[in-house]
Amino acid sequence: MVATIHPDLDLQSSIRPGLDILANEIVIGLKKRTRFHQNLHLYQPGLVNGNPDVALLDYELNRVESLHAELGRYTFASQESYTDVSDVSPVIKRQTPQSPIMRVSSGASTRILDFYKSWVGKSCPNGEKPETYGETVTADTNVLLSIIERVNLGKLVAESKFLELTPQFLEAEGNREKMLALIVRKDREEKVLALAENLAKHYDANVENIVDVFRFMIATTVDIEVEYLNVRIKSFNG
């Protein structure tokens, strides 16, 4: 008897459509961000009234993520935040569906933020325009939330592949190269990059800069999958 796969782990009908939707949102968000100057002061302490030790981006991320935490977003194992929202209490009664994946922290937030700030430095007009700080940090927050959601969908991909190829993953015994041979699909990666290129052209964005973001997300997602699988294999072996 063939086991029924959890709908959230279905690559064709659930995971990949979700990835493609987020790809659209990310390209739109990146395009919006390039409408504003670099505004790098947003990423340094000093702009938040009454809270001079916190950067405006970190402050705004925490405010938005706290709202999402109130609504139950981070009760899902596939979701992660940039800021600590562990003390935020839900404001609604909500039953979280049983997760098809283990709760494994990717620790990708710092990596994403470092890359993103570097990307802003090369993709946006030089200089500061303080009158647009509010709009700029809003654009930053929206695209960053989409990016961290997208890369962490790699946990669902990893679980789906583990269930499909359990003996092979157990035989790999945590060897990174052996696991990469099982999880990396170059043809799929090329389709993702082609989608990024097409979306960039559609939204009149810089193709090279947009594709750079997607290359980064692919590499980050692969690392998240490997880390998840290491934990999954250890758990399976008891």
Domain architecture of the chain: domains with CATH: 8-236 (1.10.590.10)
Instruction: Quote the tokens at residue 227.
Output: 């880390």
What mean pLDDT, rounded, does the chain reach?
94
Q: Nearest 10 degrees: CA dihedral of 82, 86, 90, 96?
A: 80
Q: Do 160 and 11 meet the contact criterion of CB atoms below 8 Å apart?
A: yes
* pLDDT tens column, 120-133: 999 999 999 999 99
Q: What is the mean pLDDT of residues 213-223?
A: 98
pLDDT at 1: 36
pLDDT above 80: residue 190: yes
Rounded to 10 deg, the angle between the 16-33 and 133-152 helix axes is 160
Backbone angles phi, psi at 45, to 5 degrees: -60, 150
pLDDT above 70: residue 99: yes
* pLDDT tens column, 66-77: 999 999 999 999
Q: What is the mean pLDDT of residues 156-180?
A: 95
